[in-house]
């Protein structure tokens, strides 16, 4: 006898849209910001090349215009969002580069400026697990008492050999230490992983997902590897060390991973975007809605759902 699937407003995974609507009672938009930060993996502290897959905009290719104030960026993005949706609340998402990599007074100023914008109900802060010193953790804890907050940690993979190959500059143990510190302070943590990294096979990627499914996370973001012009990853591709996943492989892998993720973990993303003019491959990733629909279809075909393999 088939078990009745878990669903979240018709979806077979616990989507961010569902979670935010339930929490705030209406549509909530993320306003992706570029606050002018850099990264220790770019400024020479660790390296000057950065993570090999990271674009020149520090993975903030669709964030606000660098150089404009936070307030200006937010107002511009709100206008774009409201061309599609008439009303909603906002999460200020500090996305580009490493958004805890600055003096704490500067961070406080930027975060508070964002929170002061009308309609903003929380902050999302993307950073590296090796960029959370105690004074920054203290600030995050302070903010967490006042507003809704999540911190997004770029893990990408649990496998150290891959981390070295793509020049992450940190490893899985560093991620675990950062996660523990955030958990101790009651701060929601979202892990970011990339599927399709060079040298990883299906089992390697599935193991990353299954491992995260056992951790005290509040959110998970799954991203397809994009090869973009101008990134150091192009060297690995030209050397034959990078093969693209097919759409079918990616969809099956995402569904396999979802089956091992606790239903309590919010799924923030199941694929990703890349600027069309920069993308070398895989080109099928440009059909974002087709990919998302295929994931939905595969969950239905299997009669599966997030956390299915955890039950019993």
Res 275: pLDDT: 84
Assessment of whether the complete model's pTM goes beyond 0.85: yes
Res 58: pLDDT: 56
- For the cut 80, the answer to whether the pLDDT of residue 262 exceeds it is yes
174: which 2 tokens?
Answer: 């560093």
79: which 2 tokens?
Answer: 């206008």
d(CA 198, CA 163): 10
Give mean pLDDT, residues 225-253: 94
- For the cut 90, the answer to whether the pLDDT of residue 53 exceeds it is no
- From the list 252, 143, 238, 258, the residue with the least C-alpha distance to 198 is 238
Residues 6+ apart with CB under 8 A from 221: 152, 190, 191, 192, 193, 267, 268, 269
Identify any residues that bridge with 189 across adjacent strands, giving them in sequence order. 151
How many beta carbons lie within 10 A of that of residue 214, not counting itself? Answer: 11
d(CA 142, CA 107): 12
Res 169: pLDDT: 94
CA 44 to chain centre: 24
Res 252: pLDDT: 98
Q: In this structure, are residues 49 and 167 in contact, taking their beta carbons and an 8 Å threshold?
A: yes
How many beta carbons lie within 10 A of that of residue 298, not counting itself? Answer: 18
- For the cut 80, the answer to whether the pLDDT of residue 60 exceeds it is no
208: which 2 tokens?
Answer: 């990353």
Question: Which fold does the domain 16-302 belong to in CATH?
Answer: TIM Barrel (3.20.20)
Q: What is the pLDDT of residues 96-125, one digit of tens each?
A: 899 999 999 999 999 999 999 999 999 999
- For the cut 90, the answer to whether the pLDDT of residue 84 exceeds it is no
Q: Where is mean pLDDT largest: 58-67, 73-82, 144-153?
A: 144-153
Residue with tokens 């400026």: 113
d(CA 226, CA 285): 8
Res 93: pLDDT: 96
77: which 2 tokens?
Answer: 């993005």
274: which 2 tokens?
Answer: 């890349």
- The proportion of the chain whose per-residue pLDDT surpasses 90, expressed as a percent, equals 83
Find the angle CA(246)-CA(247)-CA(249) to the nearest 5 degrees: 65
Cα–Cα distances (Å) from 99 to 52, 73, 147, 265, 269, in that order, read 19, 16, 18, 23, 19
Query: How do the domains of the chain map onto residue ranges?
Result: 16-302
Secondary structure in 3-state letters for the chain: CCCCCCCECCECCCEHHHHHHHHHCCCEEEEEECCCCCCCCCCCCCCCCCCCCCCCCCCCCCCCCECECHHHHHHHHHHHHCCCCCCCEEEEEECCCCCCCCCHHHHHHHHHHHHCCCCEEEEEEEECCCCCCHHHHHHHHHHHHHCEEEEEEEEECCCHHHHHHCCCCCCHHHHHHHHHHHHHCCCEEEEEEEECCCCCCHHHHHHHHHHHCCCCCCEEEEEECCEECCCCHHHHHHCCCCCCCCHHHHHHHHHHHHCCCCCCCEEEECCCCCCCCCEEECHHHHCHHHHHHHHHHHHHHHCCCCCHHHCC
Identify any residues that bridge with 15 across adjacent strands, giving them in sequence order. 267
């Amino acid at each position: 006898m088939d078990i009745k699937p878990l669903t979240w407003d018709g979806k077979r995974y616990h989507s961010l849209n569902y979670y935010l609507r339930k929490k705030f009672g209406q549509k909530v938009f993320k306003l992706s910001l570029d606050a002018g930060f850099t990264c220790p993996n770019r400024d020479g502290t660790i390296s000057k090349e950065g993570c090999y897959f990271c674009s020149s905009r520090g993975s903030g290719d669709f964030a606000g215009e660098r150089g404009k104030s936070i307030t200006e960026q937010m107002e511009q993005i709100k206008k774009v969002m409201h061309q599609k949706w008439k009303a909603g609340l906002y999460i200020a998402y500090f996305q580009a580069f490493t958004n805890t990599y600055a003096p704490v007074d500067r961070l406080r100023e930027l975060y508070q400026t964002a929170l002061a914008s009308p309609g903003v109900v929380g902050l999302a802060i993307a950073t590296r697990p090796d960029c959370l010193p105690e004074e920054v953790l203290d600030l995050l804890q302070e903010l967490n008492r006042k507003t809704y907050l999540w911190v997004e940690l770029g893990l990408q993979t649990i496998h150290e050999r891959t981390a070295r190959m793509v020049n992450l500059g940190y490893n899985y143990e560093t991620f675990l230490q950062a996660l523990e510190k955030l958990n101790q302070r009651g701060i929601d943590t979202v892990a970011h992983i990339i599927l399709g990294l060079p040298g990883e096979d299906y089992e390697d990627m599935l193991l990353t997902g299954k491992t995260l499914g056992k951790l005290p996370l509040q959110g998970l973001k799954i991203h397809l590897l994009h090869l973009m012009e101008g990134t150091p990853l192009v060297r690995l591709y030209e050397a034959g060390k990078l093969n693209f996943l097919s759409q079918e492989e990616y969809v099956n892998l995402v569904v396999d991973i979802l089956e091992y993720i606790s239903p309590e973990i919010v799924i923030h993303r199941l694929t990703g975007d890349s600027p069309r003019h920069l993308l070398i491959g895989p080109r099928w990733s440009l059909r974002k809605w087709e990919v998302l629909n295929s994931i939905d279809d595969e969950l239905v075909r299997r009669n599966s759902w997030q956390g299915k393999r955890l039950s019993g």
